[in-house]
């Protein structure tokens, strides 16, 4: 799959998630090998009506912009670069200026290779 490099240098790609039988594609999610877990902005998944519940695990996110909290939900399926990953846990929260991060949880589980010369992700 080809990935895009934005004018600010970030590498982005779409990710498809299925939750409660509904599938939605989130465009321009940052590929971040420095993120342990993937997180999506709650506004980017609005069509899926993903909301926190009292039993959801809460995570604290740390980064250059400070820290914040997110909640974790299990997705039926996550599809990245044409590879379907069933029963993935994803974080959801508010991230400044981006739709989310594709972290090492997805990249390692899918055994993805990121070719920075050709800007492609493959298995």
CATH number at residue 32: 2.40.70.10
Number of folded domains that form the chain = 1
Residue 28, domain extent: 4-122
Q: What are phi and psi of 41, to 5 degrees?
A: -70, 135
Mean pLDDT by 10 residues, the chain (123 residues): 92 98 97 94 96 87 68 97 97 92 97 96 95
Q: Which run of H or of E encompasses 25?
A: strand 22-31
Compute the distance between CA of residue 19 and CA of residue 112 in angstroms, rounded to an integer: 23
pLDDT of residue 65: 59
Give the per-residue pLDDT at 59.
82
Q: Exposed, middle or buried, 16 (CB in 10 Å: 0-12/13-18/19+)?
A: middle
Structure tokens at 103: 């972290």
pLDDT at 10: 95
């Amino acid at each position: 799959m080809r990935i895009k490099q934005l004018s600010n240098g970030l590498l982005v790609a779409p990710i498809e998630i299925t939750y409660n039988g509904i599938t939605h594609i989130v465009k321009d999610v940052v590929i971040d090998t420095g993120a342990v877990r993937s997180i999506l902005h709650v506004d980017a998944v609005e069509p899926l009506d993903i909301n926190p519940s009292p039993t959801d695990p809460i995570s604290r996110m740390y980064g250059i912009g400070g820290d914040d909290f997110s909640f974790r939900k299990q997705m039926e399926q996550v599809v990245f670069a044409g590879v379907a990953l069933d029963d993935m846990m994803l974080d959801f929260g508010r991230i400044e200026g981006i739709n989310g991060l594709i972290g090492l949880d997805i990249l390692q589980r899918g055994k993805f290779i990121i070719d920075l010369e050709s800007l492609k992700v493959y298995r």
